[in-house]
Structure 1
Amino acid sequence: MKELFDFILTFGNLNRQQMDFITEKATEIHLSKDEYFSEAGKVANRIGFIFEGILRVCYYNNTGDEITKYFIDEHNLVVDLESFDHEISSSAYVQAITDCKMIVFSKKDWTELLQTIVGFDATVHKIISRALMKKVERRSPLVSEDATTRYLKFLEIYPNAVNRIPLSYVASYLGITQSSLSRIRKGVR
């Protein structure tokens, strides 16, 4: 729980009583590699904080190809926000690509935290805003750059995750084939 509180406290304040209330609502889970945290076609009903492991957000395009949108690593919240907030079916999968340890909150418990802890909604808004900004910053360079530059940027963005993410997912994220990625990696070393 310490990692979660350290994370939250960078965005807002909590007193001991509020921390105890959050702890009471939290559940620690373990996701095995390849297990889904949430799935397309279903309503996301939990929000999590990763304290060990990496997840990816992916979808299938209209030709059936699996596309990795982005990765979420340690000390970040994970949720399909649109599905979770609006109780609509998700269009993406959130999948563990390593074994993961997480702290999760059900929709009901998360709502209770937001309604009970004064200022928690503002703190959560700051967390979500930062996550969305990071997502845009990470994706923007990938749109207009050549494949080698995109790979170098990936190494910058995910320095602690690069050796833990399967190359097929990295290639999908970068929008290139796995063989192209192998050639790029040989040239970069």
Structure 2
Amino acid sequence: METLINYLLHYGNLNKQQIELIKSKVVFRETKKEAYYHEAGKIPNEVIFLTEGIMRICYYNHKGDEVTKYFVDENNFLADINSYNQEIPSTEYVQAVTDCKYLVFSKSAMKELSATIIEWDKIIAKITSKALADKVNRISPMMTEGARERYQKFLTTYPSQANRIPLSYIASYLGITQSSLSRIRKSML
């Protein structure tokens, strides 16, 4: 819980009463490895703060192939913002790569925090803005780099995740086959 509060305080000021209110509004949950936290076609109605584990966001392309868009690890918020805000069905799946523990903010809790804490919307806007910028910065270079460079960048950007994520998911994220990723890894030894 303290990690969540420290994370929020990085983006704005909160007094003790506001912090206690936030703590009272979250619910602790877990999702086991390989289980889906959220499925495409459903309208998301909560925002989570991942405290332990890694989740991946994926979808199925027109050929029916599963494609990993990105990963989210500890001490980060996770929400399909577009679907959540517009109350439309999501096109993405969220799957636990490892056993995951997280704090859940329901939509009603978010509305109450917004109505009660003056700085809440500003804090959430800053967090959302940073997350979107991070997503663009992760995806944009991958469009112009070769497979080896994308993998090296993945290792540099996510050193603690490389050994925790199955190679098939990493290959999907990098846009290459698992056998290509294996060859790249062997050539780097």
Partner of 2:130: 130
1:108 and 2:108 correspond: yes
What whole-Å deviation, never above 9, does each CA across 1:105-150 have from its counterpart, x for those lacking one? 1111111111211111001100000000110111111111000000
1:186 and 2:186 correspond: yes
TM-score, structure 1 as length reference: 0.98
Q: How far apart are the structure 1 equivalents of 2:52 and 2:180?
A: 30
Partner of 2:87: 87
**Where do 1:39-188 residues align within 5 Å?**
39-188=39-188
Partner of 1:35: 35
What whole-Å deviation, never above 9, does each CA across 1:122-181 have from its counterpart, x for those lacking one? 011000000001101111111110000000011112111110001000000000000000
Unaligned runs of 5+ in 1: none
SS, match of residue 172 in structure 2: helix
SS, match of residue 40 in structure 2: coil
What whole-Å deviation, never above 9, does each CA across 1:3-34 have from its counterpart, x for those lacking one? 10111111111111001101111000011011
Identical pairs, percent: 53
Unaligned runs of 5+ in 2: none
Count residues with an aligned counterpart.
189
SS, match of residue 123 in structure 1: helix
> Residue 61 of structure 1 aligns to which amino acid in structure 2?
N
> Residue 169 of structure 2 aligns to which amino acid in structure 1?
Y
* RMSD value, Cα: 0.7
